[in-house]
Amino acid sequence: MRLFTVSGDGKFDEYKEQNFKKRHPEKDLESWLEDNPDAILDGERLLIIGRQVRTSLGKLVDLLAVDRTGNTVVLEFKRDKTPRETLAQALEYAAFCETLDYEQLEQVLRSSTGEEAATLSEEHRAFFSLAEDEAASFNKEQRIIIVAQEITPEIRETAMFLRQKRLAVTCVEFRYFQSASREEVLATETVLGKEPTRDTTIVTGSLPRTDETKFLGSVDKPLRAVFKAILALADSPDLIHWGQSGFSLNVDIDGKHVNLCWGLPRSSPRGPVPGGQSVRTTFREIERNVSDASELIASFKERFRETGLFVPAGNEMRWRLQEPIADEQIGEVTNLLLDLAQHVRERGLAE
């Protein structure tokens, strides 16, 4: 296969296939695919929750992800040919992942994102656009994906054997091209284990949800006014999404709900909630879903900071609620959220 760019005057500039190993370290491949997870597999998205995750034996998993049904996915990268020990290494990582419970997976996500209030179930729901009555059953199965410039015959044969034993192993080859002007192209192809279309029905009811009555009963009485005021901002009840312990306030853009903030109680069914009773922004979801949102987010981060109530929490801003709280403070925050909602609507959905 030959690749060309076409200039305005109709001239071709050919991309020549190159040896990736001679031009890039392996960490570049990790970074590229971490930032572009849709490019790893044909027609399937993966939510990356951690990079260089340390196992119980002190080894490092290149990337750890979850798929739409909640299965963990070990991604192992080789920038050249796959050495014989590649699958043994990946199997060791998958065995480690099998021991992880929901809380440990969520901690991987929090360590990776720097967001101490990140919730795996909500990140997963938003990333895969799950319906409100859908919930994943996390880590019931483990998958392995090997990505390399060349999958050797030995690895293909062993991977095929493992697939026959019902272990989900997928092999992906990539090709690397560079033009004379040093523009780069990366092409990927699943060469073994392309999964057939399968039932993507999600297990429902596996994650219990709170509601307004339970939630308000779980927070300190003097703080309820804050949450009641935020709940009242929703144009309709369905713009409040209830999670296991808290809720999110959403804005509707052409039928898609985009989170604006989270309200969190002191504890959840799993134990104490990081950050305690608090209000937390969801700028990462806004950036993911809203058109040209970077400048908007930077502006509102500063505005939240200027209230004197919110402090940075990873990539977000958080108001850790402490008594006493004045009506003026509640009004300032709700007005700020209303203004954010208006700006988000005006920007519209990202292409």
Tokens found for residue 26 = 């392996």
Lowest mean pLDDT among 18-32, 83-97, 163-177: 18-32
Q: In the prediction, which pLDDT does 10 show?
A: 80
Could you give the number of structural domains in the chain? 2
pLDDT digits (tens, 9 = 90+) for 287-334: 888 999 999 999 999 999 999 999 988 778 999 998 889 999 999 999
Q: Tell which wins on pLDDT, 242 or 66.
A: 66
More confident residue, 115 or 338: 338
Element (H, E) at 142: strand 142-150
pLDDT band at 204 (very low <50, low <70, confident <90, very high): very low
pLDDT of residue 208: 59
Q: Which of 40-49, 206-215, 223-232, 284-293 has the lowest mean pLDDT?
A: 206-215
Do 232 and 130 fall into the same domain?
Answer: no
Task: Write down the pTM of the prediction.
Answer: 0.57
Examine the fold and report which residue of 164, 192, 220 is the final residue of a domain before the chain moves on: 192
Q: Which two tokens stand for residue 56?
A: 């119980």
Average pLDDT over the chain, rounded to whole? 86
Q: Where is average pLDDT lowest: 59-68, 93-102, 104-113, 184-193?
A: 184-193
Residues 21 and 160 in one domain: yes
pLDDT digits (tens, 9 = 90+) for 239-271: 998 876 789 999 999 888 898 998 988 876 545
In a domain, 200, yes or no: no
Residues 156 and 218 in one domain: no
Q: Are residues 164 and 226 in the same domain?
A: no
Which of 1-5, 54-58, 148-152, 190-194 is predicted with the least confidence, judged by mean pLDDT?
1-5
Q: Tell whether 201 is covered by a domain.
A: no
Residue 170 belongs to some domain of the structure: yes
At residue 132 the predicted structure's pLDDT band, cuts being 50, 70 and 90, is: low
Residues 186 and 279 in one domain: no
- Given a cut of 70, whether residue 168 has pLDDT beyond it is yes
Buried b / exposed e over 8-34, threshold 16 CB at 10 Å, is: eeeeeeebeebebeeebeeeebbeebb
CATH value at residue 136: 3.40.1350.10
Structure tokens at 279: 């209000």
Burial 245-256 (b: 16+ CB within 10 A, else e): bbbbbbbebeee
Residue 306 lies in a domain: yes
Q: Is 204 within a domain?
A: no
In this structure, of 32-41, 206-215, 314-323, the range with the lowest mean pLDDT score is: 206-215
Contact 254, 266 (CB under 8 A): no
Burial grade of 84 (CB within 10 A; 0-12, 13-18, 19 or more):
exposed
Mean pLDDT of 276-293: 89
**CA pair distance 41, 143, nearest whole angstrom:** 13
152 lies in some domain = yes
Structural domain that includes position 291: 212-347
Same domain, 160 and 231: no
| Contacting residues for 262 by C-beta, under 8 A, at least 6 apart | 117, 119, 122, 246, 247, 248, 249, 279, 280, 281, 282
Residue 205 lies in a domain: no
My answer on whether 188 and 293 are in the same domain is: no
Average pLDDT of 63-78? 94
Domain stops at, among 192, 221, 244: 192
- Structure confidence by residue, pLDDT tens digits, 133-149: 676 889 999 999 999 98
Q: Is position 199 within any domain?
A: no
What are the C-alpha distances in Å from 252 to residues 15, 231, 310?
43, 15, 25
Q: Quick one: 187 and 240 in the same domain?
A: no
- Residue 155 and residue 38 share a domain: yes
In this structure, are residues 311 and 299 in contact, taking their beta carbons and an 8 Å threshold?
no
Q: Are residues 275 and 159 in the same domain?
A: no
User: Which of the pair, 272 or 186, is modelled with greater confidence?
Assistant: 186
Q: What percent of the chain has pLDDT over 70?
A: 91
Q: Are residues 247 and 187 in the same domain?
A: no
**Dihedral-angle region of residue 276 (phi above 0 means left; psi in -120 to 50 means alpha; beta otherwise):** left
Same domain, 331 and 287: yes
